[in-house]
Structure 1
Amino acid sequence: MGEKTVAICTLGCKVNQYESAALAQSFKEKGYRIVDFKDLADIYIVNTCTVTHLGDRKSRQLIRRAARANPGALIVVTGCYAQIAPDEVGRIPGVNLVVGTRGRSKLVELVEAASKEREPLCLVSEFQAGEQFEEIAALPLDGRTRAFLKIQEGCTNFCTYCIVPHTRGPLRSRRPENVLRAAREIVAAGYREIVLTGIRTGAYGQDLDRDLSLAALLRALSEIPGLLRVRLSSIEPNDITLELVEVLAGLKNFCRHLHVPLQSGDDEILQKMGRRYTTCEYARLAEVLRDNLPGLGLTTDVIAGFPGESERNFENTVRYIERISFSGLHVFKFSPRRGTPAAGFADQIKPGIKEQRSRRLIESGKKLAARFAGSLVGQELDVLVEQRAGEEGSLYEGLTGNYVKVLFPGREELRGKVVRLKMLESEGTTLKGFLCE
């Protein structure tokens, strides 16, 4: 019997990407070979997303594509869509195993059992009080220059539009000793930047100990030799404390970039969203962050077309985004999620209007990102070299601490290293520079 092959396809957020990489490593350690999802495989794993209806649709399309590619393959569906709609997923022809957002530390064993039985199996259950963070033993090292490290799971904010608290459950933090051990292993494997990720990263430690916090974890991580850069994938405005700001300001290895979701620049819409802050409070937070973290790249999420969003509400958001002067935007069109309050709100916005507003916000985001990149011209910045830019030539691309892409003439031996570059010019949202030697 030959080597069994596994193909994994991932939809959605950085947490999903981390989990897929960890699952791939788990299968490798058990003797399986990982192949591209386009290739013929014995086992197909679809790690789904359900943040929008497009995530649901893409998930179903991928499942059907796998079933067509190899009708004899074992098809496994996991992730948020599988957690929230297991029966719906299980009815898709070809699906053999449905596992939600829990129990994935044993996915290899579950797959092997399902391979023998060949009867459709659904292993999705409700979240229970007192659950702990689920450790996936394998370290997801996928050959890239930055390593993602999941430190936390779950959210209890219950914003009116968001399905995630239902798909990911309550807050569960990874034990600090396990985070630090994984970080040391990542550094030993040659990585120089770690991106801390989670569903609500800023709530780290709240379920474990009163003295445990994200600030305390960052302090401990800063003492690991060889860890040159630490980055946060995202953090909620209400989770940014003065203690955290002070710690970030004092850490030499913290990347000067924060992604702090805004969602709307209008107080009426923020209240309907259940966001628990005002535009004045967010603006004050942005001011505090920039005062304490010079050169900060501040990016955000914005939702276009939330129910009841009038032209006035929308124009307030456009002006507010310009006022805060973000360095980048992630724009989402509102998508009603079954089971959330906002799905039943009156005054749902027509798709065409959502599309128009989304496009306008995206254009605003591009202009802001280009402006921020231009503001860095003339500076000397540390850049993590990620890859060659294109198939040929000597141009390489890297990432500044404040999350701007840089192109520069480099050498292969610099890949994965942090180098000092002088920023020569900007072209759109990209910088061009040269080595300071």
Structure 2
Amino acid sequence: MQKFVVKTLGCKVNQYEGQQIRQLLERLGLSVAEPADRADLVVVNTCCVTHTASAKSRQYLHKAQKQHPNATFVLAGCLPVGQSSELKLIKGPVHIISNKKDLAKTLVNLLPDNCSATCAPHTKELTVYSTSKRTLMSGQLKSPKTCQPNSLPAKIQPAQHDRHKLGILTSYAGRCRALLKIQDGCDGYCAYCIVPKIRNRLYSKPISIVLQEAYNLVYAGHKEIVLTGIFLGAYGQSSVIRSRWNPDRKDMLAQLVDKIAQIPGLERIRLSSLEPADVTDRLLEVFCKRRNVMPHLHLPLQSGSERILRKMRRQYTVAQFLQVVDRVKLSSDRPAITTDIIVGFPGETDDDFHQTIKVANTVGFSKIHVFSFSPRPGTAAAKMQPAVKPEVIKERSAILRNLDKKLQAKFQKQFVGEKVGIIVENTRPLRGRTERYFMVELGENDNEQPLEPGQLVWRYLR
């Protein structure tokens, strides 16, 4: 049996798509290579949101070429789409897929004819992938050898949209939390972001397909699902620019979350990231009504300075951000609010940075992801002046990370002595994640049966 490696770098959307690639290859009859194995196929699902991410993608490829000298190499993901100049740095024979709709077809055509699709016994629906070489199927089918797409019932006809070529997931290998991509694309063009040049076509996965995929994941044993997208709040819209939104579709995300939350056996559902204006009254209503919708929102602030937010081309003000935070706190019991902050954006002064510190303290974030600004060629910010000195960026980043530690400790201290639900993620050491997304050490297990990843337990926090 041929063996493969899929290495995914970057965001949650990329991680989801990496799982799609893995699932396709397993259904073709390949097996995952162990660390000591020599793989026959290596797929690098790249990221290029920053220059560093792009470099890491290339570095992994070069390392894999030495580790698997006889393998076929495929470069997929964002790097081939958005940074053609950096592809010149790629060495050796590599299949570079710059058009995502060709990914499944390319992978199929790279494999020997004796690699055939297999059927996942727990899949209730059928997804068919048509290629020029063969038809691939996932799901239950009595006679896969004789079945052709045009002979299938209407409800399982091949999906026409390009993003369905890899198929919906039936499980999420190696993770307790399963990611579920429901949206793709962004045309917002924030000044620092290269993503709209890579994924500018917006797409929202139909509710019926999202629900089927969520059912699959719960059936496979996943107790927690994280809905993800490039601009999650634009689910159901044709643009991320709110002035272009169809008002009749503004609550589609809330409707979807409400439906998913009713799936039996689903203990937790989270949203990967939202903009402040995405937090509608209807969404907050769902948060309050459904016990398995976690009291946790990730709201990227990026900067606490109004001036810097305008330079960044963000679609909110500091005042609007704080208003949304107040609404969330009023509607939920001590919600966890996590965020992203960029330090050292061009033109950021000491006063701008102090305003960011002030907002962070006001909100009381439960976690701050600190990003030191680095210019990305192809973005508006790459040409902006004046640039903040590297030593200043380093100093400010350290200050913000120290504040993050203090705010995390302050937030978590509220729950000491309370009994909380924890889903086990690691066994060595024994650790798990709470409803509000922070990790805790579980300590000694009082039960006779050892705890396993994915298991939900209840413990008093100390």
TM-score normalised by structure 1 residue count: 0.86
State the match for 2:183 in structure 1: 152
Letter in 1 for 2:457: V
State the match for 1:220 in structure 2: 259
Taking the aligned partners of 2:74 and 2:234, their CA distance within structure 1 comes to 31
Letter in 2 for 1:169: N
Letter in 2 for 1:22: Q
Q: Structure 2 vs 1, CA of residues 379 and 100 (structure 1 numbering), >3 Å: closer, same or farther?
A: farther
Displacement of 1:152: 0.8
Letter in 2 for 1:108: L
Taking the aligned partners of 2:259 and 2:9, their CA distance within structure 1 comes to 32
Taking the aligned partners of 1:231 and 1:101, their CA distance within structure 2 comes to 30
Displacement of 1:40: 2.5
The answer to whether the Cα contact below 8 Å between 1:398 and 1:406 also exists between their aligned partners in 2 is: yes
Q: Structure 2 vs 1, CA of residues 37 and 300 (structure 1 numbering), >3 Å: closer, same or farther?
A: farther
2:238 matched to 1:200? no
**Residue among 15, 18, 31 paired with 2:16:** 18
State the match for 2:68 in structure 1: 70
Q: Structure 2 vs 1, CA of residues 245 and 107 (structure 1 numbering), >3 Å: closer, same or farther?
A: farther
2:33 matched to 1:35? yes
State the match for 2:456 in structure 1: 418
Q: Structure 2 vs 1, CA of residues 290 and 34 (structure 1 numbering), >3 Å: closer, same or farther?
A: same
Taking the aligned partners of 1:88 and 1:50, their CA distance within structure 2 comes to 10
State the SS of the aligned residue for 2:392: helix
State the match for 1:117 in structure 2: none
State the SS of the aligned residue for 1:364: helix
2:331 matched to 1:292? yes
State the match for 1:190 in structure 2: 221
Counterpart mapping for 1:367-406 below 5 A: 367-390=406-429, 396-406=430-440
Letter in 1 for 2:458: R
State the match for 1:342 in structure 2: 381
Q: Structure 2 vs 1, CA of residues 70 and 388 (structure 1 numbering), >3 Å: closer, same or farther?
A: closer
Q: Structure 2 vs 1, CA of residues 44 and 414 (structure 1 numbering), >3 Å: closer, same or farther?
A: closer
Displacement of 1:180: 0.3
The answer to whether the Cα contact below 8 Å between 1:26 and 1:138 also exists between their aligned partners in 2 is: no
Q: Deviation digits for residues 312-331 of structure 1, max 9, x if unmatched?
A: 11111112211211000111
Taking the aligned partners of 1:296 and 1:284, their CA distance within structure 2 comes to 15
Letter in 2 for 1:6: F
The answer to whether the Cα contact below 8 Å between 2:339 and 2:365 also exists between their aligned partners in 1 is: yes
Q: Structure 2 vs 1, CA of residues 373 and 173 (structure 1 numbering), >3 Å: closer, same or farther?
A: same
Taking the aligned partners of 1:283 and 1:39, their CA distance within structure 2 comes to 52
Aligned length: 402
State the match for 2:110 in structure 1: 111
Q: Structure 2 vs 1, CA of residues 202 and 214 (structure 1 numbering), >3 Å: closer, same or farther?
A: same
- Higher fraction of strand: 1
Letter in 1 for 2:357: V
Letter in 1 for 2:66: R
Displacement of 1:100: 3.9
**Residue among 290, 298, 308 paired with 1:269:** 308
Counterpart mapping for 1:302-381 below 5 A: 302-381=341-420
The answer to whether the Cα contact below 8 Å between 2:76 and 2:96 also exists between their aligned partners in 1 is: yes
Q: Structure 2 vs 1, CA of residues 79 and 387 (structure 1 numbering), >3 Å: closer, same or farther?
A: same
State the SS of the aligned residue for 1:262: coil
2:262 matched to 1:252? no
Q: Deviation digits for residues 6-65 of structure 1, max 9, x if unmatched?
A: 112221111111111221111111111212567532222111111211111111211211
TM-score normalised by structure 2 residue count: 0.82
Q: Deviation digits for residues 316-367 of structure 1, max 9, x if unmatched?
A: 1112211211000111111211221111111012222222221221111111
**Residue among 50, 53, 56 paired with 1:52:** 50
State the SS of the aligned residue for 1:412: coil
Q: Deviation digits for residues 117-155 of structure 1, max 9, x if unmatched?
A: xxxxxxxxxxxxx97644521524214321111111111
The answer to whether the Cα contact below 8 Å between 1:133 and 1:173 also exists between their aligned partners in 2 is: no
Q: Deviation digits for residues 211-269 of structure 1, max 9, x if unmatched?
A: 46110101111221111111111112222212211221211110111111010011110
2:274 matched to 1:235? yes
State the match for 2:127 in structure 1: none
Letter in 1 for 2:431: E
Taking the aligned partners of 1:371 and 1:325, their CA distance within structure 2 comes to 8
2:173 matched to 1:175? no
Overall identity of the aligned pairs, in %: 38
Taking the aligned partners of 2:106 and 2:400, their CA distance within structure 1 comes to 40
Pairwise CA RMSD of aligned residues? 2.3
State the SS of the aligned residue for 1:238: helix
The answer to whether the Cα contact below 8 Å between 1:7 and 1:44 also exists between their aligned partners in 2 is: yes
Letter in 2 for 1:400: T
Q: Structure 2 vs 1, CA of residues 105 and 287 (structure 1 numbering), >3 Å: closer, same or farther?
A: farther
Structure 1 residues not aligned, in runs of 5+: 114-129, 391-395, 425-437
State the match for 1:5 in structure 2: 3
Letter in 1 for 2:322: A
